Every structure is written in structure tokens, then in C-alpha cells.
Amino acid sequence: MFLKKLWIVLFGLFLTAFGIKILAQNLLTFGGTAGVATIFTYFTSFSWGLLFLFVNLPFFIISIQQLGKWFTLSSSLSIIGISFIRDAFDFIVPAFQISDITATVLAGGFIGIGVTLVLNNGSSLGGIHILALYLDKKFNLNRGLTIFVCDSLIILFAVLYVGWNSAFYSIACIVIASFIIGRYKVSPIKEVEIKEEAIILNEAAKL
């Protein structure tokens, strides 16, 4: 069961990383910490993966305090994984050019499905996703809606760097991804909490 979930999460990371790669090829961006990292690549020499790791650091405080150590560990591994995968795509995937509309639909689909697979199997990609999961757990607020609102606000700030036309397509990509994430959600926190309870009961039985 664990190996099955691991492979599903890895597949989700590959899909998400490829979706972000498509956006970068068309000078589009995304929301959340992925979008922040993308914007920073426009005016720094650091790789997307390194920037993504850096901007996610503050959210681990929320995660470890509110969502549990196992979920935080799983999310940390996913963040490190997608950082390596996304940077690897820059070397192994040749440059290509497609229309902005095609890039928006493909990237939105890949990212939406990829993030859903990651979230539904006990992990996350940090940042806004951690915040969304916390609000979903605490107030039963749909995580797709939370991600959409936060990502749209970030895109508005990104207008200065990508322009209104690119921002429009970027928001459309977020709409597609957020719809998929909100439509096919399963609470990964609940699964992790069950695992933690099982571990505690196991330890107690040994005493």
C-alpha cells in the first residue's frame, strides 16, 4: 500500500513539474509558491527548484504545528522531489513553443491532476496547499476555492513581470487546475492522522 501511494505521488510530481515547465516555455506563470518561484527566475540566476525550496520554508511552521509531523515530512519530500524533477526538465526536455491557449489547457490539466494525486495520497506541495489543507481541516473551506483565491492574488502581483495578456492565461490555468483539485479531493490529513493514531496504539501495545 505504501509503495503504491509513493508511486502515485511521484507520478503526480512529474505531471505537476511538466505543467509548470509548459507555462515557463510560454512565459506564463502559476499561483502559490510555484508562481512566486517562477517570477523570481525572471530576474535572478537561481534555478526554479532552489527558489521553490526557499519560498516554502515559512509554511513549514504552519504545517508542523497544525498538520502534524508525518504530513510535514511527506510534504517536505514532495517539495524536494518536484524541485529536482522541474530542474531536470530544463536539461532533458528540448525547447518547444505552443500557443498560449494550448499551454493554458495542458498545464492546467497536468497541474490539477498532479496536485490532486499528491494531495489525495497524504502529501502536499507546500505553500498555499498547506494553508488550503489547514483551512479545509479547521473550517471545512473547500481547498480548491482557497487555492484559486490566493493564486489569483499572486497573479495580480505578477502582472508587472508577465503583462496583462500572460496574466489572463495564467489565471485561466489556475481556474482549470483549481477546479480539478476541488472536484476530486480526498483529505490527506485525515489519512495521516489515522496513521499517527495507529503508530501510537502500536507503541502503547508494546509497553
Quick: pLDDT tens for 134-179: 788 788 888 778 877 887 777 777 777 778 888 889 889 988 998 8
Averaged over 110-120, what is the pLDDT? 91
Report pLDDT for 104. 95
Question: How much is the mean pLDDT over the chain?
Answer: 81
**Cα–Cα–Cα angle for 131, 80, 108, nearest 5°?**
60
User: Which pLDDT band holds residue 186 (cuts at 50, 70, 90)?
Assistant: low
Helical H segments across 93-206, by residue range: 100-119, 128-139, 143-183, 188-206
Query: pLDDT exceeding 90 applies to what percent of the chain?
Result: 26
- Select the more confidently predicted residue: 194 or 141: 141
The total of structural domains in the chain comes to: 1
- 149-157 own/partner pairs: CB under 8 Å, 24+ apart: 150/31, 150/32, 151/30, 151/31, 151/32, 151/35, 151/178, 152/31, 153/31, 154/31, 154/32, 154/35, 154/36, 155/29, 155/31, 155/35
CA nearest 130: which of 188, 52, 87? 188
User: Over 70: is that where the pLDDT of 190 sits?
Assistant: no
Q: Provide the domain limits for residue 61.
A: 1-205
User: Over 50: is that where the pLDDT of 201 sits?
Assistant: no
User: Over 80: is that where the pLDDT of 200 sits?
Assistant: no
